Amino acid sequence: MIKGNFIDNLPKVYGIYTGGFLAFIIIMSIGEQMGMTAKTIGICFVAFTVAIYAIIGYLSRTAQADAYYVAGRQVPTVFNGMATAADWMSGASFVAMAGGIYFKGYGYMALLVGWTGGYVLVASLLAPYLRKFGCYTVPDFIGTRYGGNLTRFLAVVVLTVASFTYVTAQINATGTIASVALDIPFQYAVYVGLISILLCSMLGGMRGVTWTQVAQYIVLIIAYLLPVFWISNKMGAGFFPHFMLADEVARIGELEQQFGFVKNAAADLKTVPKGLAGITKAHSAVNATPWGFISLALAMMMGTASLPHVMMRYFTTPSVKAARKSVGWSLFFIFLLYSSAPMLATLSKLSLIDPSLPTGIIGKSIAEVQAIDWYQNWNQANLMFVSDFNGNGTLELNEFFMGGKAVVLATPEIAGLPYVISGLVAAGGMAAAMSTADGLILAIANAISHDVYYKIIDPKAETAKRLVVARVLLVVIGFAGATIAAMEIQGILGSVIWAFDFAMSGLFFPLVLGVWWKRANREGAIAGMALGLISGAGYLIWVRSGGSGFLGITQLTFGIFGSAVSLVAMVVVSLMTSEPSAATQKMVDEVRVPSGRSILGKQ
Amino acid sequence: MSKQAQHWEKTRGLLIMTLAIWFVFSIGIFLFGAEMNEVTGPFGYPLTYWFTCQGSLGIFVILIFWFANKQEKIDEEFGFSERGDD
């Protein structure tokens, strides 16, 4: 069936894979008809998909540095786009995003704009030039462009701080899903998640991660879009929700007017379980100040362009031209999910609050709501809660509380979809969290093994030894992440946003100016990275410990302060010290044109 | 001016244009979010709402492909494009 080169056969391979996955969904739904329990279906979905990823990871094993670090630089544009989209869309995007929009409306949608707009910066400012450079890791670029071990080391530090903050959240998410789907305690589920993650990346490095990420993208996008379309059709809201939900959005606005946003007493709110929230913000009205919205979007955009696990995906394309196009494809594949999240939030909210719909619960009696099957399930899972604060016996809008995850996880059940869809959603969430965790762990392990071990400690190390070190680090970092995740000390979304702020504080300007400003030199880069990271982190600590902040910069946007300090420090210090050597300037000139051999390939 | 300097000047021009469009749809329009939301946008959604969930996102996708094509043309014009692969 498959002849010749693997790369030439990619469309066929993944076509068969997608067909196989759809067939699996159909088999499961037949199984459900024949009386398979919900639990068995959940286990089958997660176990089957994870087994496939593990097989792909095993088949991609390699002993070559080029394949391990950059997948042999032969990943075609469109497939790299899919892999990047999976790399990018984390458990938070998959499980928490629709929930965020559901509860916070416009103010939260700054994240949608920020997490997509950042790709314009990636495509125009950085990706093609770093691809031309021919580096294995992001610190590799910083270290060679500015020279010296200190710059390289600082870049590794920033990368590790940002990525590690991010990865614990992802391992946490795989643990949550594994614990629900496989019905095991969270403390063990975290390690089940971790082992699944390592199966994809250990043997094949970037090559293994690339081909599993493509497979994971296919699973996660089917798992997200299928329920959205199905629910929309079932509710009669429109057969293509993205173009047809205007009436539903307007109807939510009407209902909000009718019910009003009643503020609950603090004593009443204390009785609501932790992590659950009520609807307190308008769905489609503008409810944030322009600066509140713009500063969050801007921080996410600059963070996107500085996060190494995304940037390194563009090192795997065959050419500079392909790297640029590939950014476009990445964003297209991300767009498919991101543009669906607000639609899911709309459908979910309307189906719950509209009294004229059979699923609507607002206006029903409390006792009636408490008797509904799905309410009991999700109440038990600590994701839903109702309470009769005003004692009138009827459920009001301000008396209904839900967890952010419930929008994605519970809406299919509320809308009356078969359980097979819930199993599919669990597999999708697992794929999203695993693919991001893989990219992040690999980014950290590669930076430490390549930049710290090979370039600084032992430049004569043989390939075999380097790859052993890289794999040992992968396992160590994975376990460190899982151990912290098992302690459950931080929320998923907060730590994800911090990662962007850390990355932009320390890396945005050193990367961008490295290409676009020839005069930038080593001293400037050192000052930019060190002061940027320190001031960003300092601001975060200050605001967290009760500081008032300034210019409306919050703990979610502290990167704006950090990167501003980084820019000023870098420019001032660069201009105060001597300009870079002629060789460095020539190197920058060469980076700026796509033709010719890559910079590092020459050595 | 050398061929390389000319190439870089054009590249920089394209960058500025790309970033200007990016700025308008990621930052500029949201300065007027409240006013714009009074207007009915495509498919009947309130305009600002539509931009946050589809408009800006879609424009970014198109912008990147447009940028990539333009940059390829610039590279070809000065003979700096890579050969033999895609």
Q: What is the mean pLDDT of residues A302-327?
A: 91
Q: Where are the domains of chain A?
A: 7-264+274-349+417-602
Chain centroid, CA A518 distance in Å: 33
**A384 — alpha (psi -120 to 50), left (phi > 0) or beta?**
beta
pLDDT reported for residue B85 = 47
C-beta neighbour count of A460 within 10 angstroms: 6
- From the list A406, A432, A414, the residue with the least C-alpha distance to A102 is A406
Question: pLDDT per residue over A365-411, tens digit each?
Answer: 888 888 888 888 888 877 888 888 888 888 888 888 888 888 888 88
The residue assigned the tokens 């990539």 is: B68
pLDDT band with cut points at 50, 70 and 90 for residue A340 = very high
For A580, residues 6+ apart whose C-beta sits below 8 A from its C-beta are: A146, A147, A518, A519, A520, A521, A522
Cα gap A429→A305, rounded to integer Å: 24
Closest partner residue to A112 (CB to CB) among B44, B53, B64 is B53
CA distance A164 to A499: 8
| Alpha carbon of A66: minimum distance to chain B alpha carbons (Å) | 18
Q: Residue A331: list chain B partners with CB under 8 A.
A: 60-61, 64
Contact assignment for A117 to B45 by CB distance below 8 Å: no
Structure token digits, residue A326: 């590939």
Residue of B33, B43, B67 with shortest CB distance to A286: B33
Q: Do B60 and A77 touch (CB under 8 A)?
A: no
Which class in CATH covers the domain with range A7-264+274-349+417-602? mainly alpha
From A344, A346, A413, select the one nearest A378 (Cα to Cα): A413
- Give the Cα separation of A524 and A571 in Å (integer): 6
Q: Does B23 touch chain A (CB under 8 A)?
A: no
Tokens of B39: 């207007």
Judge contact between A195 and A56, C-beta under 8 A: no
Q: Which residues contact A82 (CB under 8 A, 6 or more apart)?
A: A213, A214, A217, A218, A329, A333
Chain mean position to CA A258: 37
Helix, strand or coil for residue A288?
A: coil
What single-letter amino acid sits at B86? Answer: D
CA–CA separation, A405 and A287 (whole Å): 22
Statement: residue A63 has pLDDT above 90: no
Which amino acid would we find at residue A286?
V
The predicted-structure confidence for A20-44, as pLDDT tens digits, reads as follows: 999 999 999 899 889 888 888 888 8
A120/chain B closest Cα distance in angstroms: 6
Model confidence pLDDT, tens digit, residues A526-585: 999 999 999 999 998 898 888 787 888 888 889 999 999 999 999 999 999 988 888 888
Among A533, A579, A577, A583, smallest CA distance to A559 is for: A533
pLDDT in tens, B38-81: 888 888 888 888 999 899 999 999 999 999 999 999 988 888 88
Shortest CB distance from A113 goes to which of B26, B43, B83? B26
B11 vs chain A: nearest CA distance in angstroms? 9
| Burial category of A290 from C-beta neighbours within 10 Å (exposed 0-12, middle 13-18, buried 19 and up) | middle
- Taking 3-state DSSP, the helix, strand and coil percentages for chain B, each rounded to the nearest 5, stand at 80, 0, 20
A53: Cβ–Cβ under 8 A, 6 or more apart, which residues?
A196, A199, A200, A212, A215, A216, A431, A434
Say what percent of chain A tops pLDDT 70.
98
d(CA A145, CA A299): 25
Phi, psi of A499 (to 5 degrees): -55, -40
Q: Tokens 């020279």 identify what position?
A: A147
Write the pLDDT tens digit of every residue in A126-136: 999 998 888 88
pLDDT digits (tens, 9 = 90+) for A480-528: 888 887 776 655 556 788 889 999 999 999 999 999 998 999 999 999 9
pLDDT in tens, B9-28: 999 999 999 999 999 999 98
Residue showing tokens 């519970």: A410
Report the residue from A293, A319, A335 with minimal CB separation from B61: A335
- Tokens 């910083």 belong to A142
- Sign of the C-alpha dihedral, residues A264, A266, A267, A270? positive
Taking CA atoms, A94 is separated from A177, A198, A270, A436, in Å, by 12, 21, 29, 11
A52, A68 in Cβ contact below 8 A?
Answer: no
Q: Do A116 and B57 touch (CB under 8 A)?
A: yes
Query: pTM for the complete prediction?
Result: 0.92
Token pair listed for A601: 């390939």
Instruction: State how far the Cα of A269 lies from the Cα of A127, in Å rounded to an integer.
Output: 48
What pLDDT is attached to residue A1? Answer: 44
pLDDT tens-place string over residues A163-181? 888 888 888 888 878 887 7
A223 and A424 in contact (C-beta within 8 Å)? yes
Among the listed residues A82, A99, A103, A73, the one whose alpha carbon sits nearest the alpha carbon of residue A7: A73
**Scanning every residue of chain A, which has its alpha carbon at the shortest distance from the alpha carbon of B63?**
A120
Residue-level pLDDT at B26 = 93
Digit-coded pLDDT (tens) for A98-157: 888 888 888 889 999 999 999 999 999 999 999 888 888 899 899 889 988 899 989 999
Q: What residues of chain B lie within 8 A of the CB of A595, using their CB?
A: 75, 79-83
Residues 6 or more apart in contact with residue A300 via CB below 8 angstroms = A110, A111, A113, A114, A115, A117, A118, A497, A500
